[in-house]
Amino acid sequence: MEYKIAMHTDIGPEKASNQDSMCVKEAYTPQGTVLLAAVCDGMGGLEKGELASKTMAEALSDWFEAELPYLLAGPGYRTAICDSLDELVKRCSARILAYGSRSHIQLGTTVTAIVFLPDNSYIICHVGDTRIYRISGEGAALLTEDQTLVQRELRLGRITREQARVDPRGNVLLQCVGASKYVQPVFIHGSALAGESYLLCSDGFRHEITRREIGEAFNPEGNTNEVVMKRNIVSLVEKNIACGETDNISAMLIRTM
């Protein structure tokens, strides 16, 4: 599998700093191409959320280079990758939590990462409410579930979808790297096909636009090169801002070839 990649981030019209971080790493192995992509959305006081998200993104980058090659060389590497990522997220969370305790501040970050493996399968590691969509000619399918109070209430049938859209608790996370004492990443497995698009985004990217708009803008048939992909990401970022989004906005689009 080969990949085309484009990304864009915007501080937003009202924020003093951009607390989103993104990471993308690609390597060529005898078995095939391996790709890691991640979006982390930090939270905390001025610059502290940026520190948390950057810490998580850099930890993933280091993991890709230092640990993943050895995991891929061993038997049962999918299980080994999940175990290793689970340990990495928990270790990073403890590090951020300890820093916050020493500094008397609260900070944290979401993390949503996807690893495309040489056999064309993928593994998603997910904490928080950053998202991954798979986009085909049939539209955009959400692969992750927001780990928020509102999403839990919706899943349990305590509120309706219409109520969820306007619920003031929409940003209340059930867990967060560095802000929760116990963090348990969710792992999602799947298979990738050539001719699909995968969108990773922070929550600021999708508050003011619909899933249909995402599917139309990033339809694989119209996103065959990185110039067009970048232009379409920027266009939707600008549309979010025009519709009233005030948060940081980050998105990464991956096109499988």
Q: Is the pLDDT of residue 46 over 90?
A: no
Contact 133, 214 (CB under 8 A): yes
What's residue 150's pLDDT?
A: 80
What's residue 207's pLDDT?
A: 86
Q: Is the pLDDT of residue 168 over 80?
A: no
What does the alpha-carbon distance between residue 97 and residue 244 come to, in Å, rounded to a whole number?
Answer: 33
Q: Is 120 left (phi over 0), alpha (psi -120 to 50) or beta?
A: left
What's residue 31's pLDDT?
A: 82
What does the alpha-carbon distance between residue 159 and residue 154 come to, in Å, rounded to a whole number?
Answer: 5
Residue burial 199-218, b: 16+ Cβ < 10 Å; e: rest: bbbbbbbbbbbeeeebbebb
The predicted model gives 17-31 an average pLDDT of 94
Q: Is the pLDDT of residue 47 over 80?
A: no
More confident call, 85 vs 32: 85
The predicted model gives 106-131 an average pLDDT of 97
Torsion angle of the four alpha carbons 54, 59, 6, 246, in this order, in degrees rounded to the nearest 10: -30
Q: Is the pLDDT of residue 161 over 90?
A: no
Contact 111, 177 (CB under 8 A): yes
Query: Do the bridges between strand 20-29 and strand 32-44 make them parallel or antiparallel, or are there none, so unpaired?
Result: antiparallel
Mean pLDDT for the chain overall: 94
**pLDDT category of residue 79 using cuts at 50, 70 and 90:** very high
What does the alpha-carbon distance between residue 146 and residue 130 come to, in Å, rounded to a whole number?
Answer: 7
Nearest Cα to Cα of residue 41 among 107, 122, 94:
107
Q: Is the pLDDT of residue 165 over 80?
A: no
**pLDDT category of residue 83 using cuts at 50, 70 and 90:** very high
Q: Is the pLDDT of residue 154 over 90?
A: no
pTM given for the model: 0.95
